[in-house]
């Protein structure tokens, strides 16, 4: 397709990325890059090094310095503990808050980022990266229970009426940066305290096309703080 470009671990959405390149500075602003990551079992390094898992390669990637240099920050990082719904079976979820789309492009050009990216390229099998914008959040939401990521699309919000799930943050999906042909409209984070609530979320998504439900084990969780703090 003319609006897509192949990438080592996904397909770049040229329609979205191209619109960013033509965005006027006064129209630009912050966005949250939500990364769904699936690793290869053994990393594929161009230099031929062996014995490194895909996960270990991604751990080595960790571009904290390049992110800070462009004013970006890690908002969330966690492994997928279980996945009741969606394909493929994801390994990790990461979210980065960028101050502008221009800063996203600036980071790609940095030498220190390119050096770190060797590890991500070696370890990643497939990635979907969504550009997200905050809709609502609850800074006082309980931290009890599992953090669950819900992704869906369509006019109707598949998960809006599951009252037993504690709402944490809802993002509108601006578009897919890298991925496949699938497109999404919402990414929601909730807290779930029991199996019945998780089952209710799965039931709510029965008629939702390409919905994803991921139960997470968090390592870094500054998600709400990055929404509240300018």
Q: How far apart are CA 133 and CA 33, in angstroms?
A: 9
pLDDT in tens, 52-111: 999 999 999 989 999 999 999 999 999 999 999 999 999 999 999 999 999 999 999 999
pLDDT value of residue 4: 46
Q: How far apart are CA 216 and CA 82, in angstroms?
A: 7
Of the chain, the percentage scoring pLDDT greater than 70 comes to: 97
pLDDT value of residue 70: 97
pLDDT value of residue 141: 84
pLDDT value of residue 3: 47
pLDDT value of residue 134: 96
pLDDT value of residue 198: 97
Q: Are 69 and 161 in contact (CB under 8 A)?
A: no
User: How much is the average pLDDT of 20-44?
Assistant: 96
Structural domains of the chain sorted by starting position, each given as residue range(s) with its CATH number in brackets: 4-228 (3.30.70.100)
Mean pLDDT of the chain: 93
pLDDT in tens, 167-180: 999 999 999 999 99
Contacts for 8 with CB less than 8 Å, ≥ 6 apart: 121, 124
User: How much is the average pLDDT of 14-38?
Assistant: 96
Q: Is 201 exposed, middle or buried (0-12, 13-18, 19+ CB in 10 A)?
A: buried
User: How much is the average pLDDT of 16-24?
Assistant: 95
Q: Are 216 and 79 in contact (CB under 8 A)?
A: yes
Beta partners for 141? none
């Amino acid at each position: 397709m003319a609006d897509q470009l192949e990438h080592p671990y996904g397909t770049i959405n040229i329609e979205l990325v191209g619109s960013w390149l033509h965005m006027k500075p006064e129209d630009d602003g912050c966005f949250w890059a939500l990364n769904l990551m699936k690793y290869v079992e053994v990393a594929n390094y161009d230099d031929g090094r062996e014995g490194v898992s895909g996960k270990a390669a991604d751990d080595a990637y960790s571009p904290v310095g390049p992110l800070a240099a462009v004013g970006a920050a890690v908002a969330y990082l966690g492994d997928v503990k279980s996945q009741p719904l969606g394909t493929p079976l994801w390994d990790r979820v990461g979210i980065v808050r960028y101050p502008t789309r221009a800063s996203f492009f600036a980071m790609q050009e940095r030498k220190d980022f390119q050096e770190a990216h060797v590890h991500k390229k070696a370890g990643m099998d497939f990635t979907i990266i969504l550009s997200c914008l905050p809709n609502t959040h609850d800074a006082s939401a309980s931290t009890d229970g599992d953090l669950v990521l819900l992704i869906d699309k369509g006019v109707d919000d598949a998960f809006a009426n599951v009252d037993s799930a504690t709402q944490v943050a809802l993002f509108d999906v601006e578009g897919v940066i890298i991925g496949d042909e699938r497109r999404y409209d919402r990414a929601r984070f909730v807290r779930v305290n029991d199996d019945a609530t998780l089952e209710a979320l799965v039931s709510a998504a029965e008629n939702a096309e390409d919905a994803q439900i991921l139960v997470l084990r968090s390592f870094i969780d500054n998600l709400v703080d990055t929404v509240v703090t300018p």
